[in-house]
Amino acid sequence: MTDISLKPALVWPRVPALLQAIAWRVLPPLVTIALILLVWELICRQPGSTLPPPSVVIDTSWELIVDPFYDRGGLDKGLFWHLAASLERVLYGYALSAAVGIALGVLIGQSTLATRGLDPVFQVLRTVPPLAWLPLSLAAFRASDPSAIFVIFITSVWPVLINTSVGVRAIPQDYRNVAKVLRLNSLEYFVKILVPAALPYIFTGLRIGVGLSWLAIVAAEMLIGGVGIGFFIWDAWNSSLISDIIVALIYVGLVGFCLDRLIAFAGRLIARGAPL
Residues near another protein, by CB under 8 A: 172, 174-175, 177-178, 180-184, 188, 192-193, 196-197, 199, 271-275
Q: How far is the CB of 198 from another protein (least distance, A)?
A: 11
| CA distance to 37, 49, 50, 240, 266, per residue, from 46 (Å) | 15, 6, 10, 19, 46
Q: How far is the CB of 109 from another protein (least distance, A)?
A: 18
Residue placing its CB nearer to another protein in the complex, 180 or 261? 180
Selection from 144, 145, 157, 136 nearest residue 212 by Cα: 157
Residue placing its CB nearer to another protein in the complex, 67 or 188? 188
| CA distance to 163, 250, 271, per residue, from 119 (Å) | 12, 37, 28
Residue placing its CB nearer to another protein in the complex, 191 or 249? 191
CB 200 within 8 A of CB 276: yes
Q: Could you give the CA distance from residue 127 to residue 105 in angstroms, rounded to a whole number?
A: 17
Q: How far is the CB of 43 from another protein (least distance, A)?
A: 51
Using a 10 angstrom Cβ sphere, with 0-12 exposed, 13-18 middle and 19 or more buried, the burial of residue 33 is exposed
Q: How far is the CB of 113 from another protein (least distance, A)?
A: 20
Residue placing its CB nearer to another protein in the complex, 76 or 188? 188
Q: How far is the CB of 155 from another protein (least distance, A)?
A: 30
Q: Could you give the CA distance from residue 156 to residue 256 in angstroms, rounded to a whole number?
A: 14
Residue placing its CB nearer to another protein in the complex, 197 or 215? 197
